[in-house]
A and B are shown apart, each in its own frame.
Chain A
Amino acid sequence: MRGAQPSRWAGCGLLSPVLLLLVVAFFAPLAFMAPVSVRPYRPGVGIGEGFTGEHYARLVSDAFYLEIIGRTVLLGLSVTFLTLVIGYPVAYFLARTQSRWRHWLTLLVVFPLLLNLVVRTFGWMAILANRGLVNDLLMALGWIEQPVKLMFNFTGLLIGLTHIFLPYMVLTLMGAIQNIPRDLEHAARVLGSGRLAAFRDVTVPLSVPGIVSGSILVFVLTITALVTPRLLGGPTYQVMSTMIYDQFLRLLNWPAGSAMAFMLTLVVVATIGLLNRAARRWGVR
């Protein structure tokens, strides 16, 4: 950078601090974890020497782990579907409305996104617990005798995670819908299609890129979420990330935990790759 003529390598010089950071605190730790995941582990003794594939083998053969992996993926798909269905009309409204409240309504979507995740989940605990808002209300109305179990099961996680990730879906879809020229919908209307047909045949197909990227985002965030599943699922109703958490901080079985971490990464990378490929294929047509 010294002198009048910038060195050919000035760009590399400016990039080197951030690349160094990523090597030291991102790539190296991940690479370091790979050999740990194939080490044997003896409870009470610790990490042994040698090589074993048992941690990976157990993940794809043991019914206990398979159930947790299946549950995680099912949760990811359900939350993605729900946020898409609930969020699309909201995104459409926010993208198209001329209302002067638009910015403030958009900020109302952004607000939960910025609010601490633990706080939002804590709110759901107060609503869904056995002595929570919903059960108190239903019992006061005399509709139920015993509290309905809304937490520590699939229902609780589904409600909580849908709430947490709805704003991501709405904002992604909003961006995509804003990019569709309004004239195209008007043209369809002028050419005689009904409001619904114009929406179905013009708006929705043209917003597919937004639907795909919003779905990828929400699916990945859901299957990797730790805080919400932990608080709403408790120590017993587990998903992949809470299982990893327990292996590291409670059971201290780092080799098994490392194998699970790579498994989770594999699911994420595979999802992103497959959906992007599918999207490109649709996009070409």
Chain B
Amino acid sequence: MSAAPAIRRLRAANLRRSGAMAAYLFLVFFFLMLPVVVVVLASVSNTSYLVVPPRGVTFRWYRAVLDNQEFTGAILYSLRLALVTTLGSIVLGVAASYALVRLWVPGRAAISAVLMAPLAFPAVVIGVALLQFYSALGVSGSFAGLVAAHMVITVPYVVRAVLASLHGADAAVEDAARTLGANRWVAFFTVTLPLIRPGVVAGGLFAFIVSFDNVPVTIFLLDVRHVTLPVKIFTSIEYGVDPSIAAVSTMLIVATGLFLVVAERWLGFHRFV
């Protein structure tokens, strides 16, 4: 009988606590999303300068972006670079991971560490080192050089994701396929690859994003005729901002959001971060 007030008190304390937690979470998520919301709002302003909240509503800045060949060219160049980089790093990363887990390799631990080394290295240092190296070799500004540079920083993501999947996949299944007469290639492509597919897809998605977003390596390696989208936005901002930069940024925000939702539905993206 005397328990009732105590339980009420406890319940009230619990409510207060979860209320405080909810308020705190709301503040943090507000902080996280604020710049995103601001960019979206700024992109529809009917003014020639950047202002939040927007004055009026217009979509002419989106039109301006799509009519501007510098922007559309940059978008296409970024997509091409990220696609080639992703495919290349999947091939190299899967081969390397398979060798590290399933085959005899001398100095396994040292090689794993070497593969991960670019992740611990300042990107800007990799960028300036490649700038000097490429210009000494006379290949500065080449697409192949840019792809190689991007692959250096994307391969570790593929290797990390694929290694995790390979450790979870049973090697005995592949051995069974071999016993039943499949050669190594057939056994790999029909048995092991389907088993590690989530890791390959997740690693590929990371590689794509890392390549598409990169500025600190890319900016040192571009030639004058080509520019990637993030570098284009970065340099445009230094020359003064108008709402068209907010518009192209909003396009990226929407694309990223769609990408995340699709990736989550498709393979449970949250398990890989």
Contact = CB atoms under 8 A, between A and B. Distances in A.
B245 A122 contact: yes
A68 interface: no
B115 A18 contact: yes
B125 to A, nearest CB: 4
B117 interface: yes
Contact of B32 (A33, A108, A226): A108
B230 A118 contact: yes
B103 A10 contact: yes
B52 A133 contact: yes
B244 to A, nearest CB: 12
A24 B134 CA distance: 10
Interface stretch (B58-66, B165-173, B194-202, B250-258): B250-258
B11 to A, nearest CB: 15
Interface residues of B, number: 86
B111 A110 contact: no
A231 interface: yes
Contacts of A268: 120-122
A238 to B, nearest CB: 13
Contact of B50 (A111, A126, A224): A126
Contacts of A110: 260, 269-270, 273
B123 interface: yes
Contacts of A89: 21, 24
A5 to B, nearest CB: 10
Chain A interface SS verdict (over half): helix
Nearest to B134: A29
A261 B134 CA distance: 17
A32 B136 contact: yes
B176 interface: no
Given A12-B99, A29-B132, A224-B122, A21 B249 contact: no
A13 B126 CA distance: 26
B148 A254 contact: no
Contact of B39 (A119, A136, A220): A119
A121 B234 CA distance: 10
Nearest to A92: B21
A113 B233 CA distance: 18
A230 B241 CA distance: 15
Contact of A107 (B129, B185, B219, B260): B260
A249 B183 CA distance: 53
A237 interface: no
B215 interface: yes
B35 A227 contact: no
Interface in A218-241: 220, 224, 226-227, 230-231, 241
A205 interface: no
Interface string A154-173: 00000000010011000100
Q: Most chain-B Cβ atoms within 10 A of its Cβ — which of A12, A114, A125, A261?
A: A114
B105 A11 contact: yes
Q: Most chain-A Cβ atoms within 10 A of its Cβ — which of B114, B125, B183, B252?
A: B125
Contact of B130 (A8, A14, A29, A118): A29
16 contacts: A8-B104, A10-B103, A15-B100, A25-B149, A29-B126, A29-B129, A33-B133, A112-B33, A123-B38, A125-B241, A127-B35, A133-B52, A166-B32, A226-B124, A257-B128, A261-B124
Given A115-B36, A268-B122, 14 more contacts: A12-B105, A15-B99, A18-B92, A110-B270, A114-B260, A119-B39, A120-B35, A131-B49, A133-B52, A171-B273, A224-B125, A230-B234, A261-B122, A269-B120
